[in-house]
Chain A
Amino acid sequence: MAKPSPSPLEQRRPLSPHLQIYKWSPTMAASIAHRFTGAALYAGTLLLAFYLFAAAGDDRSFDFASALFSSWLGQLVLLGYTFVLMLHVMGGLRHAIWDAGKGFEAKARDRLSVGSFAGAAVLTVLLWIVSFVIR
């Protein structure tokens, strides 16, 4: 019979506490949001495919898709899609800045993280104002 190991696995391997242990920080929120929005955009390709196939069909399929996207629920989904896309783009920009080796100081990284939320919100509002003006 083998004796139980003198140092069990848990003691030999470094352990890090899980997510809920940490106090929320802007960088953490931005990181999670980046991953979440990425996954949402993954599903969002189905919306794009639906619209493009409807447009590639006949006038009835196009009008059906248009009516769906013009309904209040459709508009809400498109508004959410706009914000999610803008937030992910802001995240991409933030990562590009960090990849360049800039913005790692405590203040700068928090500012970049909060700024990506603010930037996405501003861009979303601006785009929707433009869409209401031209429609």
Chain B
Amino acid sequence: MTQKSTFRTPRARVKYLGAAHSGAHHAWMMRLSTFALLPLTCAFVLIVLSLTGRDFQSARIFLGSPIVAIFMLLFVGVGVYHMTQGMQVIIEDYVHGERVKPLALMANILFGLLIGAALIYAVMRLSFT
């Protein structure tokens, strides 16, 4: 009867694999970053719209202005966090190989860190050069 009432596989029980107890925090952070991204995405869309038709000099001046740079930094920072957390769920849902899964999860974090650092670097460079 006890076997019937569990969703876990016998192998997972033997290996003591179970909940990591951080799922609620993950779900809550996804909600929080969603709420933060709603206004930030509006700002991003307005920034991209303002960039249409600009030449190099005027695009530089616009992207280097404090308000634009600050909102870009916030959008990029929260956005990359949100998408990395989201991609983690996709990997957990579809990638099950014992070796592939942790590698995919690590690759996801690596991509998030790299693209996040690159985007922040580019935005800062636009302001400070």
Interface of B: prevailing SS: helix
Answer yes or no: B96 CB below 8 A from chain A CBs: no
How big is the B interface, by class? 35 or more
Q: Judging by beta carbons under 8 Å apart, are A45 and B119 in contact?
A: yes
Q: Judging by beta carbons under 8 Å apart, are B41 and A85 in contact?
A: yes
B86's partner among A38, A48, A131 (CB-CB below 8 A) is: A38
Answer yes or no: B53 CB below 8 A from chain A CBs: yes
Q: Judging by beta carbons under 8 Å apart, are B38 and A92 in contact?
A: yes
Q: Which residues of B contact A59 (CB under 8 A)?
A: 56-57
Q: What is the number of contacts between chain A and chain B, taking CB atoms within 8 Å?
A: 80
How big is the A interface, by class? 20 to 34
A 51-99 contacts with B by CB, 8 A: 52-53, 55-56, 58-59, 62-63, 85, 89, 92-93, 95-96, 99
Interface of A: prevailing SS: helix
Residue ranges of B at the interface with A (Cβ–Cβ < 8 Å): 3-4, 7, 9-10, 31, 34-35, 37-38, 41, 45, 49, 52-53, 56-57, 59-60, 63, 76, 79-80, 83, 86-87, 90, 115, 118-119, 122-123, 125-126, 129
